[in-house]
Amino acid sequence: MSNTLQPGPLPASMQLDDNGKLRHFLTIEGLSATLLTEILDVAESFSVVATQPVKKVPLLRGKTIFNLFFEPSTRTRTTFELAAKRLSADVMNMNISTSATSKGESLLDTLRNLEAMYSDMFVVRHADSGAAQLIARHVAPHVSVINAGDGRHAHPTQAMLDVFTIRRHKPDLTALRVAIVGDILHSRVARSQIHALNTLNTGEVRVIAPKTLLPENVEQLGVQVYHSMAQGLKDVDVVIMLRLQRERMTGALLPSEHEFFRLYGLDEAALAYAKPDAIVMHPGPANRGVEIASSVADGPRSVILEQVSNGLAIRMAVMSMCLGATGGGKG
């Protein structure tokens, strides 16, 4: 697959089984508010598992889950692995750099071999947009696929853990103003966040960035666009900072990181534009002094570490729902 692969339209039916229950989790697009709310509610029930003496439930005992990470991400892979283990599943982490795909074997041939090992789920992270969707179209009927991030396209579990974190602090999403700040252009997280927030009828979703870091026609995603922190952060309830994704940038999109922080970094002065009880989020990893000051990242309004903890509950919820162990919902 090339870096120019783009995912085609994805009907909701591709992510749901014949009963309307979740089979794959590839993107937020096309899923209903009812189903997203159910994911949040199931995650809420799993959030107490971490506080128990035995941090396991037997829902996925006997199931085999493969983490297929074609792109490095220690934090995301670790949380998926831990979530699967807390559901009592057997987990295999594939080192793709030494797998058959690096020896000339095709991706789909590799999948067939893994399916022959009686796999039940693939958690896929790939640098190409649409990779998880391609895999989902070719897996056996009993296998589920979760997208752990594909190119610039989507990162649905990250978006859901972010919404879960917001809902825990500010339950009425319809009354909220949420600002997403930074490298919107290269961020699969931002796209998934925008779709999730709008599907759940969040009051207002804003993006704040220089024009060079915004996709064309970004307004069509249902956001208000700002190029000034003073205007964009005015009276917002939630501030979500994004990292600069230098590895995806081509050309001179920014004058310098220092200049970016001066104009779009979140320090105490910029945060003062938001509501006094606004919370600060970051999907990580954070570039301190580039998009966020340490005083804010570690400050009393930061919920960044809560996002990490909440990722376990969300991923447990999605895994269990996809494998029919709990929940489900009409799309």
β-pairing, 177-181 vs 238-241, is parallel
Q: What angle do CA 113, 322, 54 make, to 5 degrees?
A: 100
Element (H, E) at 180: strand 177-181
**DSSP reduced 3-state for 170:** coil
Whole-angstrom distance, CA of residue 223 vs CA of residue 328: 29
* Phi then psi dihedrals of residue 200, to 5 deg: -90, 15
**DSSP reduced 3-state for 191:** helix
**DSSP reduced 3-state for 208:** strand
* Phi then psi dihedrals of residue 308, to 5 deg: -60, -45
Q: Which residues are catalytic?
A: 75-76, 103, 125, 155
**DSSP reduced 3-state for 129:** coil
First to last CA, the chain: 30
Bond preceding residue 285 cis, omega within 30 of 0: yes
Long-range contacts of range 222-228, CB-CB < 8 Å, 24 or more positions apart? 222/194, 222/198, 223/180, 223/194, 226/179
| Sign of the dihedral defined by the CA atoms of residues 323, 324, 326, 331, in that order | positive
**CB count in 10 Å sphere of residue 110:** 17
